[in-house]
Amino acid sequence: MESSVGGEEKVAVAFSGGLDSSVVATCAAADAQVIACTAYADGAGDSARARRAADALGVELVVTRLTPETVAREIAGIDLPFEATLMDRSLWCLYSIVSQSAREAGARLILLGQLADELFGGYAKYYAAMGGRGADVVASMMEADVEEYFRRGRIRDMKACSRWVEPRLPFEQLVGYAATIPMSLKMRDGVRKAVLRRAAVELGVPETIAWEPKKAAQYSSGVQKLVANAPFNSPE
């Protein structure tokens, strides 16, 4: 993580209060002052979760309220070399907004928790495939998803953030290592990302955060609903 922090005294983390962003924030806090930047719509699940997690981790929380107006401005500025899906537009808006708040809070660097699901078995489709198709098939699925992220998702996330601050992906450093971890450690006893959850507890992440079920940021923040309801968006 020290290489991700890059010697900065203050770094931001795109923060939902879930497992991935809490691991990133905990590791970064060993080397720098951490600002946990979150954004959510009124009534979204992240509103309470992010506050609880930030308090538990002892990091500063910066909150930006998502509204139809802020989301509309972000959509108008999307600049991608491919046709953006609803998820692309939603994550662009979310990461651009938290990156702007990071800069306003005095950070020059923002850390994202992307790739944890693809590397450690976070998606329900992986667990479902384990039962009927086996570990080798699931490993191929995960490898393909990592490649797809680098082909498309990484471009989206880097461009969304880099208008404001420098983005970095700490889990990117673990691509090779994660491939060597047995699938039985990634998904076991009905738990996805089991090995990452155990590592999180060892790092000092409270168990209430480490073992909480996954919630995709575009849903838990409420941003995807706002993007889908934007009047000038064409239906998918």
Q: Name the residue range of residue 56's domain.
A: 7-116+161-172+194-227
**Can you say whether residue 204 is alpha, beta or left, with left for phi > 0 and alpha for psi between -120 and 50 degrees?**
left
Is residue 181 a part of any domain in this protein? no
Q: What is the pLDDT of residues 95-144, one digit of tens each?
A: 999 999 999 999 999 999 999 999 999 999 999 998 888 899 999 999 99
Q: CA 192 to CA 153: how far, in whole Å? A: 22
Contacts of 122 (CB under 8 A, 6+ apart): 20, 116, 192, 193, 214
Number of domains, the chain: 1
Is residue 132 a part of any domain in this protein? no
Q: What is the pLDDT of residues 189-216, one digit of tens each?
A: 889 999 999 999 999 999 999 999 888 8
Q: Which CATH number is 222's domain given?
A: 3.40.50.620
Q: What is the pLDDT of residues 19-78, one digit of tens each?
A: 999 999 999 999 999 999 999 999 887 788 999 999 999 999 999 999 999 999 999 999
Is residue 236 a part of any domain in this protein? no
